[in-house]
Structure formats: C-alpha cells, structure tokens
Chain A
Amino acid sequence: MSKANIAFYWAASCGGCEIAVLDINEKILDIIEKANILMWPVAMDTKYEDLKKMKDKSIDVCFFNGAIRTSENEELAHLLRKKSKILVAFGSCAHEGCIPALANLFNKKLIFDRAYQETETTVNKENTLPMTSFDVKEGEIHIPEFYDTVKTLDQVVEVDYYLPGCPPTPNIVEDAFNKFLTGDLPPKGAVLAPVKALCDECPRKKKDKTIETIYRVYEKEADPEKCFLDQGIICMGPATRSGCGHQCIKGNMPCTGCFGKTPEVNDQGAKMISALASVLAVENEIELDEKKVEELISKIKDPVGTFYRYSLASSFIKRKVIK
C-alpha cells in the first residue's frame, strides 16, 4: 500500500496545536512510516505556489489548525480544501474560533488602534497602520487583509472532521491519526471525541446541583475531591465535550470549555448560562427578590469570557455589535 499524503497548516493560532502533534511523542514515527507530510509550515518549507500546483485532492488528509482571521487564512482554507480529500479542523481555533475569536468583541479598527497606537510601549506619531498593499522600489507588495470578524474554518469552507481542544490532547490526536490512516472513520462532520460531557469522566464527588453563590477561582481554594460547581466555582464541564482526560480538573482547576459543546447542543455558552442560572440559589429562590437575584447574578464576571471563551465565533451571536 502506498503512503498517504498528509498536510498540516496553521492559520490564526498560537502554535500550540503544532506542539500537540509532537505531543504524541515517538508515535509520530509510526505516522511518518505510513504517511508523507507534504506540507507543514512550522517544520518544513513549503511555498504556496507549490501547493497551488498540486493536483486537486492530492492531499489525503489536511489538518488545519487556527481560525480565519485574515484574507491569507481564508485563501489557504479554500486552497487546502481544494487540494485535500479530507479536511480536518484541528483544534479549538479551527473548530470553534477559540481565543482568537474573543477578538470578535472588537473590530479591526479597535484592534489596530490598540495595537498600533494605544499600547504603552508604542510610539507611532505618523499613525502608521498596516496596509494591504504598499509600493516599494522592487514593486508593489501585498500583505493579507485583517478582517473585522474571526471565523471558524467551517464558516469559510466545508469541513469533514473536527478535533476539539485547546490544544487537542495526545490521546485525541493519536486516535484521530489512527482513524485516518486506517480509514475507520465515523460519518462526515463528526467531532472525533466522546459525545458525553466532561462530568462523565470527571472523578470528583458530585451532588445534586444547588449553588449558593459564585466564587472566582482565586477566591477559594478548591477541595480537590469535590465538584467545582458544588463549591461555587464555575466549571464548564457539564457543557463541554469529554475526551481530554480532565487534565485541568486533575490540576485542581475547573474546565473552561475548550472541547466545545456536546453534539445535542447548538450553543455551548447559552446552555451553560441556562444551567448555571437555573441552579443558582435554587433552594431559596422564592425568598430572593429581583434585586437580590441581580446581586447574585452579578457575581458571574465576564459572561462572554466565561461561557464563550472558546466558542464565540461558532455561537449564535458570533460577535459583538459595534456601532
């Protein structure tokens, strides 16, 4: 059997997903034995021109990490889609937008103002901002356009499979590689992780949920035996897909939701908002007037950053309205 052709690409991402590939350690050798890596910008030099010259569908599986932030990201998404038989959204950014998509709380102008003018270490008297084209003596150069809104990969091209996580954990990555290389694949569109929420694998003692009040992580030392929510610390576990090996939980930190929503859910944040608000003070709810409810709810800081840290771009609302 001939070797499979695979490719990796990074769009708007931190690079963590590249490390995630290496996190499978020596198993990568098995992969290289079975597959040719045609493209991997972080590790080897590939020119876009070379990619363009490849025959359509000549890549068997392309692992695309990063969100769509710029015109370059988008162009490559289209190009790789065309060249690949299977396109995989690898990691939370490509899957749901992840941290880069929190920039959807701003727009291009606000981001540029901040980055190129307002930051304390910047002196930019001429107010120079990135331009998409510029004349130099060698001719006109082009740089990619920075978009107002960060998108997920599947908002610009069709995606075949998703690997969740920020970054995907080695078990998930290894399992996915095996699936692709053996062709043992679930139906198209699947997220390659278990369907249940994190609580399913979380070993902490869980009570029937009632939360008296909310604590932020720094306000209370969490009992490592007990469910975070039972201790008043917001944990996204109930609304987040499992499969990560509950690493954060093991480190005595609550889940922040990077594996994204479970398959029966449309909007991870909305569901967690509903769950949390429902169980908050549920035992003495009839005694709370509207003002007290507001006080209680106001203990939840930064709803977007809490409930949509990874999924803002793929949520119903997707971005902040800026007038």
Chain B
Amino acid sequence: MEDFEPKIIAFLCKWCTYAGADLAGVSRLKFSPNAVPIRVMCSGRVDPSFVLDAFAKGADGVLVGGCHPGDCHYAQGNYKTLRRVKLLKMLLKDMGLEEERLRLEWISASEGNKFREVVNDMVIKIKEIGPSPLKKEESK
C-alpha cells in the first residue's frame, strides 16, 4: 500500500480548467503526476458513461474540471455537469464506491494554483482510502 500511486483521469474543460492547468505549467508549479488530463470542450461534454467507464477500467479517481458557475463559455454547460455529478455520486455510493473518488471542481483559467492544489489534495485523499476496489485483478 505504501507505494500505491493513484491513477486519476481528469476531464478538463477547454476554456477554464484546461487553461488553468496550462497556467500551472507556465508558472512552473510542481504537483503530483497522477492525474492524466483529457481535454473536453465543456464540462458539459463529460458523459457519466466516461466517468463510470474510467472507474470500471481501474481509475482510482476521476476529476471533472469546469468553469465557475456563470463563467461557462457555453453559458450553462457546467450547471448540467453539477447535476450529473451529484446524481453520479449517489449512484457510486450505492455501488459501494467512495464518493471522494469522483470530484467536480470549478477552476478558472486564472487558477493555476487551485488546479495544483486540487490534484495534490485528490492524490492525498485517494491514497488514504486506497486503490479502487474495481481495479482489475491482474493490476493489483
């Protein structure tokens, strides 16, 4: 368990969180390499199927990053994401998965530091709760 490195998939909206992560890079902030980003046009593009598929394939955590409410490049995509994530979390709980494995964060293009902190914090929290119980047997 000591050397457990969580695998996190981060769905980042192109306009805010992805750009915020870019800013973290430009600012040379250092943080855990555990989160691998996938760029989406809007957090509203994040289909719950993607999240569940990621868990089923052994992700220890899934991060969804979108614009702050009111800032969505597409006006209101992020509001849909919020409701989907809330409902997904209810489902995950009923399926015996820890809620903390799925995280929705509003990170703007100017919040490079917030992106770093969210990723670091997520890695710490997931290390605490341990590897996903859905991990394939062979990747134990």
CA distance A278 to B84 in the complex (A): 7
* In the complex, chain B residues 59-85 whose Cβ is within 8 Å of any chain A Cβ: 69-70, 76, 79-80, 82-84
Q: Is the CB–CB distance between A269 and B56 below 8 Å?
A: no
Q: Is the CB–CB distance between B96 and A321 below 8 Å?
A: yes
CA distance A15 to B74 in the complex (A): 51
We find that the number of chain A residues with CB closer than 8 angstroms to chain B is 38
A residues within 8 A CB of B80? Answer: 277-278, 282, 285
Give the residue name and chain of the B residue nearest to A268 (CB).
B49
Q: Is the CB–CB distance between B52 and A270 below 8 Å?
A: yes
B residues within 8 A CB of A43? Answer: none
The reply to whether the CB of A297 lies closer than 8 angstroms to some CB of chain B is yes
CB proximity of B21 to chain A, nearest CB, Å: 23
Known A-B contacts A277-B87, A286-B76, A323-B133; A105 and B49 likewise in contact (beta carbons under 8 Å):
no
Q: Is the CB–CB distance between B90 and A297 below 8 Å?
A: yes
CB proximity of A167 to chain B, nearest CB, Å: 27
CA distance A302 to B94 in the complex (A): 8
Known A-B contacts A273-B84, A316-B56; A321 and B134 likewise in contact (beta carbons under 8 Å):
yes
CA distance A317 to B94 in the complex (A): 11
CB proximity of A298 to chain B, nearest CB, Å: 8
Contact with B along A252-275 (1 / 0, CB 8 A): 000000000000011101110110
* Chain B residues engaging chain A, CB cutoff 8 angstroms: 47-49, 51-53, 55-56, 69-70, 76, 79-80, 82-84, 86-88, 90-91, 94-97, 133-134
Q: Which 6 A/B pairs are nearest by Cβ-Cβ distance?
A: A321-B96, A316-B56, A277-B83, A285-B79, A316-B52, A270-B49
